[in-house]
Amino acid sequence: MFRPLTALLLAGSTLACAQANATDLLQWHNNSLTYLYGQDFKVDAPIQQTLTFEHASGWSMGDLFVFVDSIHFNGKGNDNGRDDSTLYGEFSPRLSLGKLSGSDVSVGPVKDVLLATTYEFGEGDVETYLIGPGFDLAMPGFDYFQINFYRRHTESGRDGDGVWQITPAWSYTIPVGSSDLVIDGFMDWVVDNDKGYHANLHFNPQIKYDLGKALSLGEKQLYVGIEYDYWKDKYGIEDSNAFRTDQNTASLLVKVHF
């Protein structure tokens, strides 16, 4: 029987053990805090403030990305106003075939092949395990470009069986005067699902100006900008005239790296 949780925990424990017992295996790391304010959200309260913690790191056997959102609803919250905030996060370790084998596995635009895993967690019916192949790509001009193909398995079974998700993530830097404009983000595309959890597409880029560099406070430390959020059939709920779930909005953003 296929057990995505076992594979996910093995990948995560490998990275955790490396951090605890052999910190020299850590190649790089970065943490950040982001504040967002936006309006016109769907399904949840229309006005939201979000504080996001993000961690990204590279290891001798792969990489790790973690984020946690603390989302606060302005005005009427969820559950008829009784719930004015929520938490959501993802823990995403990937194991690198190239790093683990010590050989060059690149071919064409593919720089590396990875085992990609993600654990989605938070309040409500969100607990989900994802596993599948990942690829790091060499795309001209991009700081990085990766794409992961996941098989989704929800704890509650709401997705049904055999649901696939395609997730590209990227970063692109454009010099602007004495500073830089960074366009980065991700897209989650859950495909071909006719079960209760409808197929959906979530496109979520950030457009950020390196204010720290412009003010000579240090580059890649302080950003201001916007986060665009397009989500067709949000949360896998099919959009209808009776209940609109297609989300198209933007939030003001302040981001600090440390």
Is the model's pLDDT at 13 over the cut of 70? no
**Assigned token pair, 234:** 């949000």
**pTM of the predicted model, to two decimals?**
0.87
Q: Which CATH topology does 4-257 take?
A: Outer membrane phospholipase (ompla); Chain C (2.40.230)
**pLDDT at residue 10, rounded to an integer:** 54
Q: Per residue in 30-64, pLDDT tens?
A: 999 999 999 999 999 999 999 999 999 999 999 99
Answer with the residue of higher pLDDT: 2 or 249.
249
For 210-215, what is the mean pLDDT? Answer: 98
pLDDT in tens, 134-181: 999 999 999 999 999 999 998 876 666 678 999 999 999 999 999 999
Q: Which of 214, 210, 215, 193 is nearest to 256 (CA)?
A: 210
Q: How many CA atoms lie within 13 A of 203 on its CB side?
A: 8
Parse the chain into domains and list their residue ranges: 4-257
pLDDT of residue 12: 53
